[in-house]
Each structure stands twice: as structure tokens, then as C-alpha cells.
Chains A and B, each alone.
Chain A
Amino acid sequence: MGEKFEPNIIGFLCNWCSYAGADLAGTSRIQYPPNLKVIRVMCSGRVNPIFVINALQQGADGVLIGGCHPGDCHYERGNYLARRRMAVLKKLLEYTGIDPNRVRMTWVSAAEGVKFAEVVKEVTEDIRKLGPMQHFKRENKW
């Protein structure tokens, strides 16, 4: 009785830093919750806010965007642009009544396997507390 709600979290991880960091967490056999489903993008700056909205529509309860630390972006400034974008997106989502804590961003470098696991743990627990995403999920009822 009382099955725990397992959130579905989509992670957009940048190829050079956060994806490699996630890889390192895996090869180091660090345990972290399996709720994150990873989509590799070349740079966090590639993430268009419509990806985030689309993920929430298709049933994701949360979205995590992982990028390189400021100054370390492989493409010089993609992470800076992503930082600006996500700041604006979170404010917009909050104004429409969607909890901005469902969309998270993190700087994880390729050597930070431990940090990556910590981040996933934290985000999973936060979104578990928020509950399933109901607001504008695709019904697919036709």
C-alpha cells in the first residue's frame, strides 16, 4: 500500500562536460536514483525552451539541464546563453502556475562524477515531493 511515486526526469546533458561526468559516475559505480533519462546534446546552449515544454507535455515530471562550468564551455559561450534562457523560462513557467522547481540546471564537469550523482539524488527527491506533473500533459485520448 502506498507505492512511492517515481518521478520521470529528462536530463539534457552537454556532451563535453555533464554527459562525461554522468559517464564517470557510472564507471565509478556510484549509486544514484534511476529516475533520470538522459538525452545527450552537444552543448547546453543547444537546449531550446520548447524542448523543456515538450518534455513536460509528454509526461516528464521534471527536466534537468546539465552544462559546463562558466568559462569552460567547449563552444566558448553556450552555457552562458543557456543560463540566461533558463532564468527567463523559469520565471515564465512560474507566472503561468507551473512550479519552476521542476526545471533545474546544473554545472557538472567531466571530472565531477560524485557531484553528478548528488545532483540527481537532490533533483529526484525535490520532484518526488512536488508530485506528478498534471497541468498540461498530453492526454492522447483522441
Chain B
Amino acid sequence: MVDNNQLKEAVKKTVSRDDVKYVVGYEKGTYGFQATPTFAYKPEDSKKFIFSPLCVHNLAVFPMLEEKPPLRKGQEPDTRKIGVVVKGCDSRAIVQIIQEKGLDRDKVVIIGIPCTGVVDPKKLEKMFPGHIKNAELKDEDNKFAVTVDGKTTKVSKDELMPDKCKTCEYPTPVLYDILIGKEIKSTKKEDYKKVNEFEKKPLKDKWEYWEKQFDKCIRCYACRNACPLCYCKECMVDQLNPQWVRRSVDLSENTAWNLLRAFHLAGRCISCGQCERSCPMDIPLMELNKKIEKEIREMFEYEAGVNAEEKPLLAMFKPDDPEEFIL
């Protein structure tokens, strides 16, 4: 259970600093089980901050969304810091961006929350369908207490947690300035069960599965825009000269887009699942990212977003990298 008062105090303290522009955190959403990102510009704004297992979003996307609008004459750019509330997995995104020199360490103030698992919104909707105007969800050790219209049901965590939480190896943020609560040691290990199962299938079946999934894609690019690590100023898919991926929506271009994105996140994806959550057509994007994560762990002994001093995976090499496929 995360102490919400401690969180509010920490946010208040951070916002009151002279060198902090604003702090991003979570607040209660507008209906049902929703939680939504919120911003504190003044110390009073910290009152609306909450943290509960409904806070699934990865807020590390916001420091990279800072825009630089044109300035008036004589106006100086605002270079103050940004505060971010992060869970264990989210903090890895920030560390990875720092590793790639996308962000300076001293540009962010990280308020870390040791996380014992969140709730998958899709699983929650299946279990509690229908009109829910006001609902609450509390973390009670190994169960979730779900309150809908005054009635509370206790559900085991296993039924509602997303897969990423069941194999979480970093419940405590890897990098933080303030920690809300005590550090949690990880007791789980990533076993890549789903990936291993899928790998056993013959090539033909694999393509059949992915063909159906890529056919669903509507190229809305929600996966790219919601991902904290997709922050290229000009995405390759928006390039027109030369145009690598056409704008038309058909199997060929959809496959090219999904493979392109999965590859460009190789060694950078920290498996927060934001892409899969944002996809309106329910494409299992995490499966591709998990496969690459498994391969780079085995082939290059590298994990994304763990050490801010390390060099990024595809920007370095070892003389004895695997090369059995090279003629």
C-alpha cells in the first residue's frame, strides 16, 4: 500500500522548489476505474495526486513531450526541471533515455514509488463490465479490493495483474530522488514463457498468426506516440523523401511499420506495455518486444534501462559478438 499522504507531501515539496517547473503524477479519472495523468504547477495542486493499482500509465513519456514553442523577443527559454512520479518499470524508461543522452539526469526530479503490481484495464473491464460511474480499487497485500457501487469484492492479484507484473524484476525504481515508502526486493524472475511457447511453432503458423494481427492495424501510431522511448524528432515513417513506408493501410505496409518499430526499440524497450494498452485494435505488440528483449539478453547480456552509465546496446559492440550466421 502506498502512502498517498507521503506522496502528496513529496510532490508539494518538489513543486515548491525554485528550479522545478511542474510535477507529473496521477489523479482520479473521469469515470469508472480510470486514473489519469495530472500536473502540479503550484503547491496546492499536489492535493489531487493519488497512487493506486489503477495507475497503469507510464508517465516517463511526458519529459520528452516538452515542446519548444517560438519565443517572444527577449524571452528566455524555461529550462527548469520536471518532476515525474514513476513506478519501478517506468523509471527504467527514464534511465534508458538518460543512457541514450536524450535527457540530462539533472533535468528530471524522479519521485519513485515501489510498486507491488498494477491492474490490467482490459482484464478489469471483462470482470466488471457495464455502467460504472464510480469505482475504487485498493491494494490489500495479495488481493485487490474492488468497490463498485458500494459493493466490495476481493479478487486475487493473479487474475487482474498484467503479465508484466507477474514477472517483474524491478519493483523499486532503479533511479530516484525521492522514494515513497521502502524499497521492495524483487522475488520474481522473467521466464519468457509466452515467447518460448510461440517460438516452438512452425514458421507457417507464426506468419498466419501475425498476418491476422497486422491486418487489424489502422496505422494510428498510438503505439509510437504513447511510447516513452519513441521520441525521434522525425519518425522514419513520416519521412517523405525517401518514403520508406507508404501511408496506405494494407498488410504489406502494416507489417513494415510494426517490424520497423519493434526493431527500433531493440535494446531500448523496457516492457511497460503502454503501446499494447494504447492500441485501439488490441494488437499484442508486447510479444514482439518481449522476443527481442529475450534475444538481446541471451546474445549480448544486455538489459535496457538498468544502468544510466552503460552504453546503449546497438551503439556498441563486443569483439566476440555472435556471428555464426555470417558467411
Contacts and interface: CB of A to CB of B under 8 A. Distances in A.
Q: A and B: direct contact (Cβ < 8 Å)?
A: yes
Interface of A: 48-50, 53-54, 57, 70, 77, 80-81, 83-100, 104-107, 119, 122-123, 135-139
Contacts of B315: 81
Nearest to B243: A54
Contacts of B327: 104-107, 119, 122-123
Contacts of A50: 236, 244-245, 256, 260, 263
B16 interface: no
B-side interface size class:
35 or more
Contacts, number: 121
B204 to A, nearest CB: 7
| Residue of A48, A91, A107, A123 contacting most chain B CB atoms (<10 Å) | A91
A135 B251 CA distance: 9
B198 interface: yes
Interface of B: 195, 198-199, 203-211, 214, 236, 244-246, 250-253, 255-256, 259-260, 262-263, 266-267, 288, 291-292, 295-296, 299-300, 313-315, 317, 319, 321-323, 325-327
A131 to B, nearest CB: 12
A53 B291 CA distance: 18
Interface of A is mostly: helix
Contacts of B295: 87-88, 91
A111 B101 CA distance: 40
Going nearest first, the 4 A-B pairs with the smallest beta carbon separation are A97-B207, A97-B206, A80-B317, A136-B255
B112 to A, nearest CB: 30
Given A94-B203, A104-B327, A84 B209 contact: no
Contact of B262 (A48, A92, A135): A92
A97 B325 contact: no
Contacts of B211: 97, 135
Nearest to B258: A96
Given A70-B319, A88-B292, A106-B327, A53 B256 contact: yes
Contacts of A81: 314-315, 317
Contacts of B195: 95
Contacts of A87: 295, 299, 321-323, 325
Contacts of A93: 259
